[in-house]
Amino acid sequence: MIDRLKGMMEQLQASEEELKVQNEELEQRVEDRTRELSVALAEQKRNSGALHMANTKLHLLTSVTRHDIQNKLLALRGYIDIALESNPDPTTSTILKEAGETAAAIGDHIAFTALYEKIGLDEPQWIPLQGLLKGLVKGPVTLVNECADFSIYADPMVELVFSNLMDNTLRHAHEATRVTLSCKETESGLTIIWEDDGPGVRDDLKEKIFERGVGNNTGFGLFLAREILGITNIPIRETGVEGEGARFEILVPNDSFRMNDK
C-alpha cells in the first residue's frame, strides 16, 4: 500500500513538473507574442502617423491647386465678358458664350472636388434628422418632416444628402408643391423615405441618376449623396412610380439609428 502511494506521489510530482514546464513554455510564448505585438503596434503607429502627414500634405496641395485654378477661371470669365461687351460678330459671340459655359462647368467641377475631398475626413457621429432639415432652401415646396424622433449615425456631411434631394426636387419637379420625409422601422433597420408630388423618375433612370455627371445641372448631387451615405454603409435608392412623384429610400442599418431622448 505504501509503495502504491509512493508511486502515485511520484506520478503526481512528475505531472506537476511537466505542468510547470508547460506553463513556463506558455509564459515564454505569451511574452514573445506580446513583444511581437508591441513592435507591430509601434510600427502601425509610425505608419499611421506617416499616412496622416501624407494626407495632410495632399489636402494642402489640392487646396492650393484648386484655389489657383479658381483664380485663373475668374480671370478667364472676366476676359470673356469684356470680349462679349465689345459686340463681336455672331460667330465669335457664340464661341465666347460657349467658352464661358465651359469655364463655368470647370468651376463647378472644382467646387465638387472640394466637397468630395471632405467625405470621410471626420469621424461619423449621431445626427438628429430634425436638425438636418431646418436649413433647407424649400422654395415654393412645403416640407413635412415625420422623422423628428430619430437620429442616424453618419458622416457629418450627411446634411448635403437632404440638401441635394431638395435641390433635385426643385430642379426636376417644377410642379411639385410638397415633400414628405417619413420613417419606417423594419427588421433590418430604419427606412427614411423622401417623397415629392412631382412627375417622378423613369424606370430606366432610377439607377443612372446616382452616377457621376448625370443630370441637367452639374450631375454631382445624387452621386455625392450616395457617396456620403456609403461611408457608414447606408444605401439609397429611387423606388417611386413615374407620374406619381419621386421616392427615395435611405436604408439605415439597425446599429446606425436610434430614438432621440424625450
* DSSP at 260: P
| Three cell numbers written together for 118 | 471632405
Q: Confirm if 208 and 201 have CB atoms less than 8 A apart.
A: no
Q: State the Cα–Cα distance between residues 249 and 136, nearest whole angstrom.
A: 19
Give the three-state DSSP class for 186.
strand
| Three cell numbers written together for 247 | 421616392
Does 125-259 carry CATH code 3.40.1160.10?
no
* DSSP at 231: T
Q: Confirm if 190 and 129 have CB atoms less than 8 A apart.
A: no
**How many Cβ atoms from other residues are within 10 Å of residue 247's Cβ?**
17
Nearest to 250 by CA among 202, 210, 203: 210
Q: Each residue's pLDDT tens digit in the chain (262 positions)?
A: 555 655 666 666 666 677 667 767 767 777 777 777 777 777 777 766 666 676 667 667 777 777 788 888 888 888 888 888 888 888 888 888 888 888 888 887 788 777 777 777 788 999 998 878 877 767 788 888 888 889 999 998 898 899 889 988 888 878 888 999 999 999 999 999 999 998 999 999 999 989 877 665 555 789 889 999 998 999 999 999 998 999 999 999 999 999 887 5
Q: State the Cα–Cα distance between residues 241 and 88, nearest whole angstrom.
A: 49
Sign of the torsion formed by the C-alpha atoms of 170, 172, 175 and 177: negative
Look at residue 168 in the predicted model and tell me its pLDDT: 87
| 91-101 burial code (b ≥16 CB/10 A, e <16) | eeeeebeebbe
Look at residue 62 in the predicted model and tell me its pLDDT: 73
Where does the chain show beta strands of DSSP type E? 125-128, 142-145, 150-154, 178-186, 189-196, 236-238, 247-253, 257-259
| Three cell numbers written together for 147 | 422623422
Q: State the Cα–Cα distance between residues 38 and 44, nearest whole angstrom.
A: 10
Give the three-state DSSP class for 189.
strand
CA dihedral 212, 214, 219, 224 (to 10 degrees): -40
Amino acid occupying residue 157: M
Residue with cell 466637397: 115
Q: State the Cα–Cα distance between residues 98 and 148, nearest whole angstrom.
A: 46
Q: Confirm if 177 and 197 have CB atoms less than 8 A apart.
A: yes
